[in-house]
Amino acid sequence: MTTPGPRYRNSANQTPPGRPLDGAVVAILATDGVEEVELTQPRDAVDRAGARTVLVSLRLGAIQAMNNDVEPAGRFHVDRAVADVSVADFDALLLPGGTTNPDKLRQDARAVDFVRGCMRADRPTGVICHGPWTLVEANVVAGRTLTSYPSVRTDIRNAGGDVVDGEVVVDGTLVSSRGPADLPAFCATIVEEFADG
Q: Which domains, and CATH codes, for the chain?
A: 21-196 (3.40.50.880)
Element of type H or E holding 194: helix 183-196
Distances (CA, A) of 172 to 5, 56, 69, 162: 8, 24, 30, 14
Active site positions, annotated: 129-130
Contact 156/150 with Cβ under 8 angstroms? no
pLDDT, one tens digit per residue, over 24-56 is 999 999 999 999 999 999 999 999 999 999 999
Quick one: pLDDT at residue 14?
Answer: 46
pTM: predicted TM-score of the whole model, two decimal places: 0.91
As a whole number of angstroms, the distance between CA 101 and CA 62 comes to 13
Quick one: pLDDT at residue 18?
Answer: 63
Report which residue type is found at 196.
Answer: D
Residue numbers of the chain with a pLDDT score lower than 50: 1-4, 8-16
Q: How many CB atoms lie within 10 A of CB 96?
A: 26
Quick one: pLDDT at residue 6?
Answer: 59
pLDDT, one tens digit per residue, over 141-163 is 999 999 999 999 999 999 999 99
Quick one: pLDDT at residue 15?
Answer: 42
As a whole number of angstroms, the distance between CA 116 and CA 105 comes to 12
**Nearest CA among 71, 76, 82 for reference residue 39:** 76
